[in-house]
């Protein structure tokens, strides 16, 4: 009888151990499930990412390109098409050379018709406002209508012609002689005045005879 009770006690102990392990596994699984559910409900702080689009390459043509002949001689390009390293210490009225480079989007060639970016130009050392009147254009004024002695002047804004190279600002103010009177240019009014005077003189001469 005692020999049969011992195996039974051992079986009961084994059952208790198995029951304890099963309960422990159930409790552990429940805690993990609760933690997982809590993490789903409250995911914590989130990070946001902003996608910055890549800036599109500019295809706009600079306005000065319209003045620049394509594949022409670099040394004959208008002043708006090139950048030059000038030296203001040159001697006025003397020939001088400056290093120049074409601006972006400008194409030109050398004497051998090879593509060129850097070159030199020859010019006379003088500021733009010292150029002869044939090398720049100025605004006109029709408000000065009076012929006077000495002739009146008016303030004008002058701009150097494209193909002319000079030092300093290419647009400058200048006092010019008033060239308008009564709707006519001063030179035209003077010619008409001389014609009238000649006509009157001829009439007087004929009348005396």
Which sequence spans correspond to the domains of the chain? 64-125, 127-183
Contacts within 8 Å (CB) and 24+ apart, 143-146:
144/178, 144/180, 144/181, 145/180, 145/181, 145/182, 146/178, 146/181
Torsion angle defined by CA atoms of residues 165, 79, 119 and 89, in that order, rounded to the nearest 10 degrees: 40
pLDDT given at position 209: 56
* Surface-to-core class of residue 197, CB atoms within 10 Å of its CB (0-12 exposed, 13-18 middle, 19+ buried): exposed
Residue 24 CB neighbour total at 10 angstroms: 10
- SS3 string of 10-63? HHHHHHHHHHHHHHHHHHHHHHHHHHHHHHHHCCCCCCCCCCCCCCCCCCCCCH
Structure letter (DSSP) for residue 158: E
- Token pair listed for 161: 């012609």
State pTM to two decimals: 0.54
* 124 close to 93: Cβ distance less than 8 angstroms: yes
Please give the pLDDT value at position 44.
57
Q: Would you give per-residue pLDDT tens digits along the chain (209 residues)?
A: 545 556 667 677 777 767 767 665 555 555 555 555 555 555 556 666 565 566 555 578 888 888 898 888 998 999 999 999 988 899 999 999 999 999 999 999 999 999 999 999 999 999 999 999 999 999 988 777 556 677 788 899 999 999 899 999 999 999 988 875 545 555 565 566 666 455 545 555 555 55
């Amino acid at each position: 009888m005692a020999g049969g009770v011992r195996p039974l006690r051992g079986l009961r102990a084994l059952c208790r151990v198995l029951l304890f392990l099963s309960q422990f596994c159930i409790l552990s699984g429940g805690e993990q499930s609760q933690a997982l559910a809590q993490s789903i409900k409250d995911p914590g702080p989130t990070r946001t990412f902003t996608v910055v689009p890549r800036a599109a390459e500019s295809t706009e043509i600079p306005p000065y390109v319209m003045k620049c002949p394509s594949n022409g001689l670099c040394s004959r390009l208008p002043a708006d098409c090139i950048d030059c390293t000038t030296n203001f210490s040159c001697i006025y009225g003397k020939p001088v050379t400056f290093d120049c480079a074409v601006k972006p989007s400008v194409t030109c060639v050398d004497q051998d018709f090879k593509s060129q970016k850097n070159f030199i130009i020859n010019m006379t050392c003088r500021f733009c406002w010292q150029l002869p009147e044939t090398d720049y254009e100025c605004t006109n004024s029709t408000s000065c209508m009076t012929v006077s002695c000495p002739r009146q002047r008016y303030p004008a804004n002058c701009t150097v012609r494209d193909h002319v190279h000079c030092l300093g600002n290419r647009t400058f103010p200048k006092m010019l002689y008033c060239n308008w009177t009564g709707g006519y240019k001063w030179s035209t009014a003077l010619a008409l005045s001389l014609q009238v005077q000649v006509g009157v003189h001829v009439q007087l001469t004929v009348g005396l005879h």
